[in-house]
């Protein structure tokens, strides 16, 4: 599907060297911020695909908060938490969010509308009897959760898992909350939300789109004999390389109008990150 609009910036050439293995130090933060917001704004207007947009936003967030995995969950029709996107497609963070239906930082955040910051997992067994041990077993030491707010409603939460004991600086908290607010805008941007049930209908559509992506990941993972995180990378790379929404690529895989063999990682595209903990 050709698109006549030619985007400026690294995505146009498929090369993103500046974002590969980037460690965001204090001196680089302003530059990183500027690039990140330009990149997000570019995605917000052209060929907008919600899940691609959220994945990108969460990847940048994880970069900002070194040694972190970040996931975003929405409250679905019955109030249960459903993952919309994450900084990495590894199962760990996704599953840890999914277990939080009854208790956990996301659940606390949804209930109170307040940020949950700098919670050490050792010693959190009373607060989160099921979630805390599972998160620790997965190798995480600290969690945070930030609300996705629309006026007085909290529609979801951004969950940050850190494998270090380092607390977030106030600057990092502000930046991350700003990214969460941008995520909320992205989720709602398709049309003006008149009242509560329009929002709920919008969210149902978003949640269903996520399921389509998961189904497509399964097909690609099986056909190409790759891990599901690599399957996601293939889908996304094809979408960006062909200026097509990620959701359209996923649907095409499922209805067989696009073969998994046709997917490839674009030049310079990022392979799924190796486990940062084992590298340090």
Q: Site residues (CB under 8 A) for another protein?
A: 76-80, 82-83, 91, 94-95, 98, 101, 195-198, 200-202, 204-205, 208-209, 211-212, 214-223, 228, 250-251, 254-255, 260
> Strand, helix or coil at 69?
strand
Tell me which residue of 211, 222, 209, 174 sits closest to 64, measured CA to CA. 174
Residue 82 has phi, psi (to 5 degrees) of -125, 130
Of 98 and 181, CB closest to another protein: 98
Q: How far apart are CA 24 and CA 180, in angstroms?
A: 19
Buried b (16+ CB within 10 A) or exposed e, 16-34: beebeeeebeeeeeeebee
User: At closest approach, how far in Å is the CB of 32 from another protein?
Assistant: 30
Nearest to 260 by CA among 211, 221, 209: 221
Query: What is the Cα–Cα distance from 54 to 184, expressed in whole angstroms?
Result: 10
CA 255 distance to own-chain centroid = 25
Q: What is the DSSP letter of 88?
A: S
Instruction: Using DSSP, state whether 185 is helix, strand or coil.
Output: helix
Beta-carbon contacts of 121 under 8 Å, excluding residues fewer than 6 positions away, are 132, 135, 136, 140, 141, 142, 143
* Residue 172 beta carbon to another protein: minimum distance, rounded to whole angstroms: 28
Q: Please provide the distance, in angstroms rounded to a whole number, between the alpha carbons at the two ends of the chain.
A: 42
**CA distance to 94, 177, 235, per residue, from 185 (Å):** 22, 12, 24
The answer to whether 155 and 106 are in contact (CB under 8 A) is no
């Amino acid at each position: 599907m050709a698109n006549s609009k030619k985007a400026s910036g690294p995505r146009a050439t498929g090369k993103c060297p500046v974002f590969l293995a980037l460690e965001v130090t204090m001196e680089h933060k302003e530059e990183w911020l500027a690039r990140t917001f330009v990149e997000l704004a570019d995605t917000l207007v052209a060929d907008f695909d919600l899940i691609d947009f959220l994945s990108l936003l969460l990847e940048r967030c994880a970069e900002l908060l070194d040694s972190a995995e970040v996931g975003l969950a929405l409250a679905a029709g019955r109030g249960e938490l459903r993952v919309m996107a994450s900084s990495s497609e590894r199962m760990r963070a996704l599953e840890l969010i999914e277990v939080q239906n009854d208790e956990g930082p996301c659940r606390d955040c949804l209930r109170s509308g307040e940020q949950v910051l700098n919670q050490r997992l050792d010693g959190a067994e009373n607060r989160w009897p099921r979630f805390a041990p599972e998160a620790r077993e997965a190798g995480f030491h600290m969690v945070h959760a930030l609300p996705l707010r629309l006026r007085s409603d909290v529609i979801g939460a951004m969950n940050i898992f850190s494998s270090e004991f380092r607390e977030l600086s106030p600057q990092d908290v502000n930046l991350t909350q700003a990214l969460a607010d941008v995520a909320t805008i992205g989720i709602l941007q398709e049309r003006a939300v008149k009242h509560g049930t329009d929002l709920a209908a919008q969210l149902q559509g978003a949640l269903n789109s996520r399921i389509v992506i998961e189904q497509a990941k399964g097909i690609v993972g099986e056909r190409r004999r790759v891990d599901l995180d690599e399957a996601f990378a293939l889908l996304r790379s094809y979408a960006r390389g062909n200026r097509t929404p990620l959701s359209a690529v996923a649907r095409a895989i499922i209805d067989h109008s696009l073969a998994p063999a046709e997917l490839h990682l674009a030049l310079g595209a990022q392979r799924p990150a190796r486990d940062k903990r084992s590298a340090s």
